[in-house]
């Protein structure tokens, strides 16, 4: 079988233990057997979100969780801050507009992170703002936002802080309760190493009050229905049964290692990829102070096409990375280091990137990127991974 190594920022590689669980015969969801799974998923997601708040699951991709947050929290005519420093920040504003919520856009240059001062200025100017929508890791740029500092400002206002943690959850620290985050949105196919199909929304009491009073239209994503069902250890509609069951297994694997250890592993993997890119003479797209551990966005050499590089790596060598999005679609490639990827997966990706760059005329000595990454990966010990990868 041809290699199919996913180094993409979602979906991510699925560990064999989880593939085995996903392949089991399906069970019915209105059974005591599945109720045990619901209970476990609910508690497991609280662990991953670092919260005591309830976490509601809906069968959807990550955008479903974002839409659920908007239509449940806000009413037509409300105002909400949307931080736009990339494609997924833009999505917050698009969803708001679809529900007749007026977005107050905070523009951020791609590759940089929003400052607390920018958000504070808008909140001071417009006290009627009811929500602040931000992105934990902006997957289109490889930038991580300083959610803790943003939360410190938002928590003293009437606004709720809503975090798109679709790519960042379980990969980079997000302490919902300790930091006073009101809503966390995420999904199954990134840090949780599962196929797409389960989205989830964690909701603070402050945010739930808004959900009870929102006048927006909603049906399938009505989180009041999700809550009512969860109170009876049930789901409002047919859930993505197999993925929910595998999610319990995935969270067990993460728990065995510990969230903080996982964050440290991803930081180390990211450092290796960043070192490799720089050793190859390539610029990193995100500023050093806000570079994410979820993925590395790498500028391709002038005159080269990121899309062509990604295509050749995938079609010829069986290694999938992502090109850019929006106006940098053809200017950057994005290599993820989340999920059950280990240093050997990333060294394989770097070796392949070297090969394709050389073929397209970039001048460097073969092995330069690999050597830089190896130096990082051999510089400190790393706990063995519970997912079976030898980190």
What span, in angstroms and rounded, lies between the C-alpha atoms of 332 and 25?
Answer: 42
Q: How many residues bind ligand PMP (CB under 6 A)?
A: 13
The answer to whether 191 contacts ligand PMP (rule: CB under 6 A) is no
For ligand PMP, which residue of 35, 42, 61, 374 counts as binding (CB under 6 A)? 61
If DSSP codes are grouped into helix, strand and coil, which group holds residue 325?
coil
CA atoms within 13 A on the CB side of 45: 27
Nearer to ligand PMP, 49 or 280 (CB): 49
**Least CB distance from residue 35 to ligand PMP, whole Å?**
27
Q: Would you mind telling me the total number of residues written for the chain in this entry? A: 391
**Least CB distance from residue 157 to ligand PMP, whole Å?**
24
Nearer to ligand PMP, 61 or 180 (CB): 61
What span, in angstroms and rounded, lies between the C-alpha atoms of 265 and 382?
Answer: 7
The answer to whether 139 contacts ligand PMP (rule: CB under 6 A) is yes
Q: Of all helices (H) and strands (E), which one includes residue 385?
A: none
Q: Strands 54-60 and 197-203, how do they pair?
A: antiparallel
* 377 within 8 A of 343, measured Cβ to Cβ: yes
Q: Strands 79-84 and 102-107, how do they pair?
A: parallel
Nearer to ligand PMP, 141 or 214 (CB): 141
For ligand PMP, which residue of 54, 164, 343, 354 counts as binding (CB under 6 A)? 164
Nearer to ligand PMP, 166 or 298 (CB): 166
Instruction: Give the angle 199-201-206 at the CA atoms, nearest 5°.
Output: 170
Task: For tokens 């302490």, name the residue.
Answer: 175
Question: Across-strand partners of 186?
Answer: 200
The answer to whether 167 contacts ligand PMP (rule: CB under 6 A) is yes
The footprint of ligand PMP on residues 273-302 (CB under 6 A) is none
Query: CA dihedral in degrees (201, 206, 210, 211; nearest 10)?
Result: 30
The answer to whether 198 contacts ligand PMP (rule: CB under 6 A) is no
The answer to whether 88 contacts ligand PMP (rule: CB under 6 A) is yes
Nearer to ligand PMP, 167 or 293 (CB): 167
The answer to whether 141 contacts ligand PMP (rule: CB under 6 A) is no
**Least CB distance from residue 166 to ligand PMP, whole Å?**
4
Nearer to ligand PMP, 164 or 354 (CB): 164
Residue number closest to ligand PMP, CB atom: 62
**What one-character DSSP code corresponds to residue 221?**
T
**Least CB distance from residue 199 to ligand PMP, whole Å?**
7
For ligand PMP, which residue of 135, 145, 235, 274 counts as binding (CB under 6 A)? 135
Query: CA dihedral in degrees (128, 126, 148, 136; nearest 10)?
Result: 90
The answer to whether 187 contacts ligand PMP (rule: CB under 6 A) is yes
* 364 within 8 A of 358, measured Cβ to Cβ: yes
Binding site for ligand PMP (CB under 6 A): 9-10, 61-63, 88, 135, 139, 164, 166-167, 187, 196
């Amino acid at each position: 079988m041809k290699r199919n190594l996913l180094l993409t920022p979602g979906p991510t590689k699925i560990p064999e233990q989880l593939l085995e669980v996903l392949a089991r015969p399906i069970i019915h969801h209105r059974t005591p057997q599945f109720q045990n799974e619901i209970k476990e998923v609910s508690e497991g997601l609280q662990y991953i979100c670092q919260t005591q708040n309830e976490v509601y699951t809906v069968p959807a991709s990550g955008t479903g969780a974002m839409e659920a947050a908007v239509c449940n929290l806000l009413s037509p005519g409300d105002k909400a801050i949307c931080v736009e420093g990339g494609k997924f920040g833009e999505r917050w504003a698009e969803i708001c507009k679809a529900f007749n919520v007026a977005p107050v856009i905070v523009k951020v240059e791609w590759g940089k992170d929003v400052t607390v001062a920018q958000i504070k200025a808008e909140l001071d100017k417009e006290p009627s703002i009811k929500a602040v929508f931000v992105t934990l890791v902006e997957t289109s740029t490889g930038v991580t936002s300083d959610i803790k500092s943003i939360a410190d400002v938002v928590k003293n206002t009437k606004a709720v802080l809503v975090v798109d943690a679709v790519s960042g959850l379980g990969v980079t620290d997000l302490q919902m309760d300790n930091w006073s985050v009101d809503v966390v949105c995420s999904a199954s196919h990134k840090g949780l190493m599962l196929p797409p199909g389960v989205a989830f929304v964690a909701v603070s009491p402050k945010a739930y009050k808004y959900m009870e009073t929102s006048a927006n239209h909603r049906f399938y994503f009505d989180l009041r229905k999700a809550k009512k069902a969860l109170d009876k250890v049930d789901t409002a509609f047919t859930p993505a049964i197999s993925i929910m069951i595998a999610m319990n297994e995935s969270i067990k694997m993460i728990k065995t290692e510990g969230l903080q250890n996982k964050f440290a592993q991803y930081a180390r993997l990211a450092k290796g990829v960043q070192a490799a890119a720089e050793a190859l003479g390539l610029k990193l797209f995100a500023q050093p102070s806000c570079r994410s551990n979820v993925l590395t966005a790498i500028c391709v050499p002038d005159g080269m096409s990121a899309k062509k590089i990604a295509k050749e790596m995938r079609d010829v060598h069986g290694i999938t990375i992502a090109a850019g999005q929006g106006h940098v679609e053809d200017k950057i490639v994005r290599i993820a280091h989340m999920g059950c990827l280990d240093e050997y997966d990333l060294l394989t990706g770097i070796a392949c990137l070297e090969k394709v760059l050389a073929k397209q005329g970039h001048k460097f000595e073969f092995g330069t990127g690999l050597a830089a990454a190896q130096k990082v990966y051999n510089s400190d010990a790393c706990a063995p991974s519970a997912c079976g990868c030898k980190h």
